[in-house]
Amino acid sequence: MRMRVVGFEVTNNNSLCDEEDSPVIIKKHKRIRKVYDESSEENDEENGKNITTTPTKGRKNIRKMKNEDELSELTKDALQEEKSRKMRLEKRQQLYNQIFDPPTPIESCKKLVLDFDSETKKELVTVHPDLVKFLKPHQVAGVKFLWDSVFESLDFTKKKKKGSGAILAHCMGLGKTLQIITLVHTLFRYPEIGIKTVLIITPHSTIENWCKEFQKWLKDIPEEKNFLVFNLSESKTYESRNNLVQEWQRESGVLVTSYQSYRTIVKFKGIDKFPTLLETLVDPGPNLIICDEGHLLKNHNSAISKAVNRIKTLRRIVLTGTPLQNNLKEYHCMVDFIRPNLLGSLKDFTNRFINPITNGQYSDSTPLDVKLMKRRSHVLHRMLEGFVQRCDYTVLTPFFTS
């Protein structure tokens, strides 16, 4: 493949003290308890919790959970759509397994088919073999997962052009970048999918790496259609940024920028003078957006989250090497970005998941608290498994065993 990267230049232990021996710590601990007990009712309402009379931190008498009938219409619609999507994918996966006989977790993949005609069994969308040969089994599964979650099928993409999102939560070093490059290359191979502009937002320190990775994996792949990789961070003025974005829109390809640059551009008060920037980056936005190190979107109130959430594009992929397992509020923020309304408002999510899951983890939790915690954790896991794929280093074990 002939690759051209536009605007790219290569540069190169505190110990615990006993309470009887440390009166200062005891005094400080009591002060913390007092502040905790005097928390305002407004904060408890916001978090969906009842005020307790217990002076120590532990279980609470949480409010009764809402059922699905009490959720907003937007959330009900999102839940129903996800349920229907899962059913469609399950049926399609069964047919896929019968036709293509997918490889086992330790077998190398010789052909990766992403879409096919269910009647004629004709292959409609396949990954280029020169990329497939580099993919490990978990990466093959990852690419197919992204296709299923974001596009589902060629026919479905034509009917529903908005698409949806996914989170690829693979540990660092498992090849998330290669999986994205493989997917993007495949999207540009098939113009009928309708993908012309792909936006990658990443920390500034990794922009050059993304550009070099595209060159590394695609430079030797023969292809009739050429697509460009643009580096927006090299443009310092709004005029040059506008010109680069216009070329990106005209020529099609991948635009790589940093979170800081994107935030600065969309918050620019004079952005109305550059309608191309507003149209291509915000509304209606690119055809696909990819957020690297997506755990940076963990706070609804951060400037980065507010800027990125302005994008109207619904085909969204979040990459993270540090899944947010211990903070459900942060997880809600990240999931809400790729699947708006599915988890409901933060208040509803707190009532239905955060409170019962947290309340079952204290030393004084009752058996009923623990039972409810396990049940709600299972429900949440089932909700997320269709568009969140976790992967750790155990997937590499078969390659290091004799």
Please give the pLDDT value at position 325: 59
Is it the case that residue 149 has pLDDT exceeding 80?
yes
Is it the case that residue 145 has pLDDT exceeding 90?
yes
Nearest to 373 by CA among 387, 352, 389: 352
Matching residue, tokens 């536009």? 6
105, 137 Cβ separation under 8 angstroms: yes
Q: Which domains does the chain have, with CATH numbers?
A: 68-343 (3.40.50.10810)
Q: Which helix (H) or strand (E) holds 390?
A: strand 388-391
Is it the case that residue 223 has pLDDT exceeding 80?
no
Distance of CA 84 to the CA centre of its chain: 21
Q: Across residues 72-98, what is the average pLDDT?
A: 91
Please give the pLDDT value at position 60: 80
Please give the pLDDT value at position 57: 72
10, 208 Cβ separation under 8 angstroms: yes
Please give the pLDDT value at position 104: 60
308, 340 Cβ separation under 8 angstroms: no
Is it the case that residue 133 has pLDDT exceeding 50?
yes
Please give the pLDDT value at position 106: 55
Please give the pLDDT value at position 219: 85
The pLDDT tens digits of the residues spanning 295-305 come to: 888 888 889 99
Intra-chain end-to-end CA distance of the chain, in Å: 37
Please give the pLDDT value at position 294: 87
Please give the pLDDT value at position 324: 56
13 vs 344, residue with greater confidence = 344
Q: What percent of the chain has pLDDT over 70?
A: 80
Q: Across residues 379-391, what is the average pLDDT?
A: 90
Nearest to 343 by CA among 49, 47, 79: 79
Please give the pLDDT value at position 225: 63
pTM of the model: 0.81
Write 82-85 long-range contacts (CB < 8 A, 24+). Answer: 82/339, 82/342, 82/383, 82/386, 82/387, 85/152, 85/164, 85/386
Is it the case that residue 291 has pLDDT exceeding 90?
yes
Matching residue, tokens 């568009």? 387
153, 114 Cβ separation under 8 angstroms: no
Q: What percent of the chain has pLDDT over 90?
A: 48
Amino acid identity at 163: G
Q: Confidence band (pLDDT; 50, 70, 90) for 216?
A: very high
Q: Across residues 39-44, what is the average pLDDT?
A: 36
Q: Confidence band (pLDDT; 50, 70, 90) for 6?
A: low
Q: Confidence band (pLDDT; 50, 70, 90) for 326?
A: low
The pLDDT tens digits of the residues spanning 95-122 come to: 888 888 766 655 667 789 999 998 888 9
Please give the pLDDT value at position 62: 82
Q: Across residues 124-139, what is the average pLDDT?
A: 92
Burial of 85 (0-12, 13-18, 19+ CB in 10 A): middle
